[in-house]
Amino acid sequence: MNPPRHVSHDDIVVSLLEADPEFAKAYLVAALDESDLPGGQFALLASLRYIAEVQGMAAVAEKADMLRESLYRASSPKGNPTIKTLLAVLAASGLHLSVTRQPSEPVAV
């Protein structure tokens, strides 16, 4: 009898993202929505890293006009990517940032 094979959380997330591009979009939207919660920024960086891994870090870095090592560093748990890096990685991944108004908060004019 073979013991159960250990599969890491990262491997499972990457396989889910590979299997369904719409899931990748929903995953990133959820990470953006929760980025202001405790641990949310870490989760957002992780989601960007997973999406870049699915598409190939080197390919995403090249499309984003940055070094692969810089992409790894920016999307690491201690990373602090600039808005330029964030937008370039999203565009290289076939995604874009969108802004919507929160329905519960009135806007002062």
Tens-place pLDDT, residues 12-44: 888 998 898 888 888 888 988 888 899 888 888
Tens-place pLDDT, residues 52-108: 888 888 998 898 888 999 999 988 888 888 888 888 888 888 888 877 777 776 666
Q: No. of H helices and E strands in the chain? A: 6, 0
pTM for the full predicted model: 0.75
Return the amino acid letter for 35. Answer: S
Q: 3-state DSSP: the chain helix, strand, coil percent, rounded to 5?
A: 60, 0, 40
As a whole number of angstroms, the distance between CA 34 and CA 37 comes to 5
